[in-house]
Homo-oligomer: A and B are copies of this chain.
Amino acid sequence: MINFDYQSPTKVIFGKGAEMKAGEEVKAWGGHKVMIPYGGDYLKKNGLLDRVHQSLTEAGIEYVDLEGVVPNPHLGLVKEGIRICKEEGVDFLLPIGGGSAIDTAKGIAYGLVNDFELEDLLLGKVTTDKIAPLGCISTIAATGSETSNSMVITIEDGWLKRSYNHDCARPKFAIMNPELTYTLPVYQTASGASDIMMHTMERYFTNTKDVDLIDRMAEGLLVAVREAAKVAVKTPDDYEARATLMWAGSLSHNGLTGTGRVADFASHKIEHELGGMFDVAHGAGLCAIWGSWARYVYKTNPARFAQFAVRVFDVPENFQDVEATALRGIEAWEDWCSVIGMPTNLRELGVEPTDEQIDEMAEKCVATGGGHVGFFQTLYKDDVVQIYKNAR
């Protein structure tokens, strides 16, 4: 176990009807006027937006809506949000939605209290530990942005999907009502569940020794999500499956499962370029890439892949051949993806990049990491090209 600092201060308000506490929470955290970034008509149709407005009004909080958040959220809307917040005197962000709405709000919140251009933050030219306060109402179990320190925004100029991570960006509170996820399309539900698995797996695949405690807790989370996802895609209004996915979504990305170890995150970086270029659902993109990544790197530490196979996917252990067990685990993951309707390669994802496009994505992918990505196995541009190609 390596030394670590860990802090996940977000107050989680979890359960049925939790959204009606939005007003009192904003008030308790010192907000007076909120901006509500969101995307999609469903919040109007299902009455959620009205209920949140009502809760805010009852608490004496003013609000401005900011419609138009899209998946892989764009910097343009973030900038528009900053402009409106400054005009309107907004002092608190209250996104409703999944990672896209929450990350849009994080971008706005950074912009409100810093003087730099947000591009510079996303491109690593500046850093900050200042952000305006935000709370959120989560309606999608996926990114974990509701408690995490990360923000992912796509810069339209060049379609660069870039992130900035700082603990200051953890929301003050996160309201999570699993019922709000009942109406998510099956594909989005499965994509979100895959993202939750992957947030845990990016940290699970490590070469740090003696990490049994967090390994076992992570394995428990993975098994629970494995089963809940299968239920949720078949029975969208199963409260318990939705609750499992929602709470696991936060626990998978609030940093807990990464304590005491070096995390990998190569698959996320490789997928981010797909998301930037082809605008695919993030979790689905991860599913399409992970098998290719895993087969490319598993010989670095076959024992860890074998442990994953046996403990997470109940693969019968082949004591004579650790690599065989490892490979069975990768297959088991792909079988799970198929069962919940997720792709296991780029073709199934509906994306057919040319060699030139792959070259461009690989170039961008390694650029922000100083020429390489990943810690389980360090991957250079040629490695990333091969992983994209093997995933076709």
Contact = CB atoms under 8 A, between A and B. Distances in A.
Interface of A: 1-18, 209-210, 212-221, 223-225, 227-228, 239-240, 243-244, 247-248, 251, 256, 259-260
Contact of A217 (B2, B8, B18, B220): B220
How many copies of this chain does the complex contain? 2
Given A260-B243, A260-B247, A14 B8 contact: no
Contact of A216 (B8, B221, B260): B221
A172 to B, nearest CB: 10
5 contacts: A3-B16, A6-B11, A8-B9, A217-B221, A217-B251
Contacts of A256: 251, 256
A12 B224 CA distance: 27
Contact of A212 (B9, B217, B227): B227
- Which 5 pairs across A and B sit closest by C-beta, in order of nearness? A3-B15, A216-B220, A9-B9, A210-B240, A213-B224
B213 A248 contact: yes
Contacts of A228: 212-213
Nearest to A213: B224
Contact of A5 (B11, B213, B219, B259): B11
A309 to B, nearest CB: 17
A244 B215 CA distance: 11
A230 to B, nearest CB: 13
A68 to B, nearest CB: 32
A4 B212 CA distance: 28
A192 to B, nearest CB: 15
A14 B260 contact: yes
Given A210-B240, A221-B213, A18 B6 contact: no
Contacts of A243: 1, 210, 260
Contacts of A239: 1
B4 A7 contact: no
Given A8-B8, A240-B1, A243-B1, A14 B212 contact: no
Contact of A18 (B3, B259, B260): B3
Given A1-B240, A12-B259, 15 more contacts: A3-B16, A3-B18, A4-B12, A4-B14, A7-B9, A7-B10, A8-B9, A210-B240, A210-B244, A212-B224, A213-B224, A215-B220, A216-B221, A216-B224, A247-B259
A14 B3 CA distance: 6
Nearest to A5: B13
A15 B4 contact: yes
Contacts of A248: 213
Contacts of A217: 217, 220-221, 224, 251
A116 to B, nearest CB: 24
Nearest to A214: B247
Contacts of A220: 213, 215-220
A210 B11 CA distance: 23
